[in-house]
Chain A
Amino acid sequence: MHSDPAGVRASLRKYVMIGAALLVFTVITVAANRLHLAVPFAITVALIIAVTKGSMVAAVFMHLSNEKKWIYGALLLTAIFFAVLMSVPFFTIMDSIGTPQPAIGVGEHPAGH
């Protein structure tokens, strides 16, 4: 555990480095966007970068790289149900009986009321 003063002092540099890395990734994700990649590919790239950044924040800033089993357990359970929640779009759209929703023109947006 790195909560003793010596361990914390050693971590200071790491925090700054991770911060810098996160900024670099931000630049990369914006730059990748400038390339105007095909949409599915762009989504994949952007999500990979976001997941990488997110894991860095969680692992280092939130100290998840070194936590107790109860916290891992709670997060694992959350991750499973999060995955279930992410299946809702699939369940909503992918499998339904009858004609699919007709594509309705979206040209005329009625102004907000």
Chain B
Amino acid sequence: MEQPTTPPSVVYEHAHHIDAHEELGWWRKYVFSTDHKVIGIQYAITGLLFLLFGFGLMMLMRWQLAYPGKPIPLIGPWLGQSRAPMGIMLPEFYNQLGAMHGTIMVFLGVVPLAVGGFGNFVMPLQIGAPDMAFPKINMMSYWVYYIGGVIMLASFFPTTGAAQSGWTSYTPLSVITATSGQTFWLVGMIFLITSSLLGSINFITTIVQLRAKGLSYMRLPFFVWAQFVTSFLLLLAFPPLEAAGILQLMDKVAGTSFFLPSGLVISGKPLAVAGQGNPLLWQHLFWFLAHPEVYVLILPAMGIVSEIIANNTRKPLWGYKALVYSVVFLGFMSFIVWAHHMFMTGMGTTMSAFFQTTTMIISIPSVVILTALLLSLWGASIRFTTPMLFALAFLPMFGIGGLTGLPLGLAPSDIHLHDTYYVIGHFHYVVAPGTIFALFAGIYHWFPKATGRKMNELLGKLHFWGSLVCINLVFMPMFIQGLAGMNRRMYDGGAQYAHNQGVLHWNVVQGYAAWGLGLFQIFFIINFFMSLKWGKAVDKNPWEATTLEWLAPSPPGHGNFLTEPIVYRAPYEYSVPGAAKDFSPQFEPEKA
């Protein structure tokens, strides 16, 4: 997507080595590239396409919920007999859409975009590194992710369809569902996990080893801290899910019964397996990953928002140290809260008391971070640019997501709310208007760095306001529905239950809001491509920002910096009293 500018041939160190790699062919430069920026852009674009695809799945589901049993307009006839005969969605297909929407959004959309995309592109630039510590492993990480994605998509093609046991793939349901979809899912997941592991090793090593001269840990931009903690979560929480995936794959393929208890009877017939397995074990191993995974989704978003808020308030972040300690503590605690997803499994009071306590404790650093960002706005003359609007919206949206999580973290209220739309609403407030808004903010913010051009402000604002209104109309009614007791994962939205009758009409509103949300994304797509070609050309520091990535040319060439970056100060020195400008970049020496 970049213009093929000639890479700056001056690299500050070991300049004599460069001759050998001077001109790379098109394939090595744009496809099998080892340049962290190209890989970051590959991750970002693939992630965005998966987000769009996952969003498409959701729009089909919303049609079914709004108008159960009515033929799907436009694309209904194209879905085929095995999915939607006469355009009417089959329950099995609805289950596939649900399972794959979750899987694709989390593992193929948001994480690759937030960590693979932004982490890869921005982090090495912000620490003043010429590239990642292991460029070839970085490339491998992308391609392993890509293969995982292709496997996930391929699972839709067999007539029995994709995985249909929810994105959590709870056993024994996922094992005894006799379709190939779940096998595809497991193999795909093993690839995605491997990719994340390779990526996280690279991130940690890069941050520890390749920081520029003068860049001590307490001078790191908060975004880098967020990526650092995220990488540890990926490194240590993902392997247990990989193990669990292997075990479930053995159950599916080799006929073992790790997760199948003795005496399981399916359709009146005893299941012919050895038995003695433990279905709860899957839930433990799954959530041992998947709770830290929630923080993998949210921490990079907090990092992006912090950068943008500091830049657009023209003030230092309020409480930088508190932010750093909070994010480290958050990462640590996220490993010991997982069973709060499992209050309904019949766990005893001792155990639920333990996990309720840790869950309440982990909400403290989240609140500290949110409060620090909110206080950063105090008394600032805010620049309401498009990235800033998205970043500002992140604060209340994530706030709603976080606060509605508290009743779910306490067993007594969770037992009422579990498996209702309230849970869906809570989680989506964290991830959709929360993380995805932050990701949009990041795209608008770093687009000039990646391309040398700014995105259009008017289209950006249309995109923002439209999305903000629509997305709240999708998710806010979920709290109402959930509190009324409406169950999630119902093919017809729960139309046959008396207690749902008062809240069913919201499904129509949510449907229109979801399709509207889709329409407003068109502004973004147009803006993205238009700005590539006709966007306002900018210099290397269009936002007058302070961190190191703005020292490199826009777009930066292979090797990133023209001269060796040296860091002289903390990351957010805006409006320093007595300074000539309202920003004092990290790379500028103290006034001589």
Complex A–B touching at CB under 8 A: yes
A: which residues have CB within 8 A of B? Answer: 70, 74, 77-78, 81, 84-85, 88, 91-92, 95-98, 101, 104, 106, 109-110, 112-113
**Interface pair B281/A88, CB less than 8 Å apart:** yes
Instruction: Write out the residue numbers on chain B whose beta carbons fall within 8 Å of the beta carbon of A97.
Output: 346-349
**Interface pair A88/B285, CB less than 8 Å apart:** yes
**Interface pair B346/A106, CB less than 8 Å apart:** no
From known contacts A85-B240, A96-B348, A97-B348, infer whether A91 and B284 are also in contact, taking CB-CB under 8 Å: yes
Q: For the complex, count residues of B whose C-beta is within 8 A of A.
A: 31
New A-B pairs, 15, CB < 8 Å, besides A77-B232, A78-B236, A85-B288: A77-B236, A81-B237, A84-B335, A88-B285, A92-B278, A92-B284, A95-B351, A96-B346, A97-B348, A101-B261, A106-B275, A106-B276, A109-B274, A110-B272, A112-B274
Instruction: Write out the residue numbers on chain B whose beta carbons fall within 8 Å of the beta carbon of A85.
Output: 240, 288
Bound form: Cα–Cα A85–B236 in Å: 10
**Interface pair A113/B262, CB less than 8 Å apart:** no
Closest residue of chain A to B243 (Cβ to Cβ) is A85
Q: Mark B221-258, 1 if CB is under 8 A from A, else 0.
A: 00000000000100011001000000000000001000
From known contacts A88-B281, A110-B273, infer whether A104 and B350 are also in contact, taking CB-CB under 8 Å: no
Q: Mark B191-228, 1 if CB is under 8 A from A, else 0.
A: 00000000000001000100000000000000000000
Instruction: Write out the residue numbers on chain A whose beta carbons fall within 8 Å of the beta carbon of B346.
Output: 96-98
Interface of B, helix, strand, loop or mixed by DSSP: helix
From known contacts A81-B236, A85-B288, infer whether A95 and B350 are also in contact, taking CB-CB under 8 Å: yes
B467 to A: closest C-beta gap in Å: 37
**Interface pair B335/A95, CB less than 8 Å apart:** no
Bound form: Cα–Cα A95–B342 in Å: 13
**Interface pair A92/B280, CB less than 8 Å apart:** yes
A68 to B: closest C-beta gap in Å: 10
A-B contact pairs, 5 of them (CB 8 A): A84-B335, A85-B240, A95-B347, A98-B346, A110-B273
Instruction: Write out the residue numbers on chain B whose beta carbons fall within 8 Å of the beta carbon of A88.
Output: 281, 284-285, 288
Selected contact of A106 from candidates B236, B237, B262, CB within 8 Å: B262
Interface membership of B263, Cβ < 8 A: yes
**Interface pair A91/B288, CB less than 8 Å apart:** no
Interface membership of B339, Cβ < 8 A: yes
Instruction: Write out the residue numbers on chain B whose beta carbons fall within 8 Å of the beta carbon of A110.
Output: 272-274
Instruction: Write out the residue numbers on chain A whose beta carbons fall within 8 Å of the beta carbon of B335.
Output: 81, 84
Bound form: Cα–Cα A78–B280 in Å: 24
